[in-house]
């Protein structure tokens, strides 16, 4: 099968992903083999390709927003049948025995494995997935439309829950890429007023189209304070800026897997019982809830499609903030 393979992490401008012919994998007894039809491209993929995240499997096939069809099942698979439309997110597996797993926090499991990081992902024609960490995709969504839900959507949804905002609250969103354009739709559905902080003219335009109350830059002062905020951009300097606009008792959520250093800041920015909360991955419950919401709202994802061979180009465009919504590699 064809796959884009990472053998040596390096700047994306040096095109670290190589188009290669590799062996098609075979599922074990509790795994399924998926014919990949689409795979979303995530900023986490960029961090892995450039070596900013340690200890990835090498050689590695990136990609953790996988949508496709089941073509083969292991001998003990009961949840899926051949032809089923399924999705695979970042969380590939967890031990299901530790204290974290027992308390619904399998995202914090010390033995968790992640798709396109510890195991091969979806920048390929076929991918293997664990039956119990794979999800049915709503029929109303195409392969391309549903791919962003599996990371951008789920991570944004978890960040929204951790922010504590509810109906009538003001939500601040810093950075308006793949996750943010889905999160704003969920927040608006829940009755929140959303204020978006971004420098990109294209992202500002999209935010307004999706119902933002106000749009400005991260250093701007909005007309109202926020009850909760989410930083999607991997920019540590935004943390004190976001805290300046946060109400007492509010929560600032940092939703990235990687962030540049946070600058020194005055204690009064967190005084008043303001808190900072990080998001670490996602749980299966998050995925199930978000996929149901996606159908109920319904969420509409903005996607730009590219061929598998263009993966280096896509990651470079992502690094340059030139992707509107979510980039998706098409393998149909």
State whether CATH 1.10.1040.10 applies to domain 153-278.
no
What's the chain's Rg over C-alpha atoms?
19
> What is the CATH architecture of 2-151+282-330?
Alpha-Beta Complex (3.90)
Q: Please give the pLDDT value at position 138.
A: 86
What global pTM score does this model have?
A: 0.93
Instruction: Point out the residues of the chain with pLDDT beneath 50.
Output: none
Taking the domains of the chain in order of start, what are their residue ranges? 2-151+282-330, 153-278
Write the pLDDT tens digit of every residue in 301-325: 999 999 999 999 999 999 998 888 8
């Amino acid at each position: 099968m064809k796959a884009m393979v990472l053998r040596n992490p390096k700047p994306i401008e040096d095109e670290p992903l190589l188009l290669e012919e590799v062996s098609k994998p075979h599922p074990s007894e509790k795994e399924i083999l998926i014919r990949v039809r689409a795979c979303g491209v995530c900023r986490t993929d960029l961090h892995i390709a450039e070596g900013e995240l340690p200890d990835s499997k090498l050689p590695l096939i990136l990609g953790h927003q996988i949508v496709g069809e089941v073509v083969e099942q292991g001998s003990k698979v009961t949840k899926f049948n051949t032809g089923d439309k399924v999705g695979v997110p970042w969380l590939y597996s967890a031990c299901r025995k530790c204290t974290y797993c027992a308390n619904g926090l399998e995202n914090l499991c010390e033995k968790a494995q992640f798709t396109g990081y510890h195991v091969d992902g979806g920048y390929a024609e076929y991918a293997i997935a664990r039956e119990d960490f794979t999800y049915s995709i709503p029929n109303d969504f195409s392969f391309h439309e549903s791919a962003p839900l599996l990371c951008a959507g789920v991570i944004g949804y978890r960040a929204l829950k951790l922010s504590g905002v509810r109906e009538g609250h003001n939500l601040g969103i810093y950075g308006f890429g793949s996750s943010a354009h889905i999160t704003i739709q969920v927040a608006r559905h829940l009755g929140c007023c959303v204020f978006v902080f971004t420098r990109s003219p294209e992202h500002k335009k999209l935010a307004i189209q999706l119902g933002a109350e106000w749009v400005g830059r991260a250093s701007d002062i909005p007309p109202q304070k926020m009850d909760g905020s989410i930083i999607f951009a991997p920019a540590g300097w935004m943390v004190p800026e976001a805290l300046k606009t946060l109400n007492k008792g509010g929560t600032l959520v940092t939703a990235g897997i990687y962030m540049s250093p946070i600058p020194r800041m005055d204690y009064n920015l967190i005084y008043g019982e303001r808190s900072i909360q990080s998001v670490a991955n996602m749980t299966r419950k998050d995925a199930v809830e978000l996929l149901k919401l996606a159908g109920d709202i319904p969420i509409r994802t903005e996607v730009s499609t590219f061929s598998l061979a263009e993966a280096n180009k896509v990651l470079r465009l992502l690094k340059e903030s030139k992707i509107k919504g979510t980039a998706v590699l098409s393998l149909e």
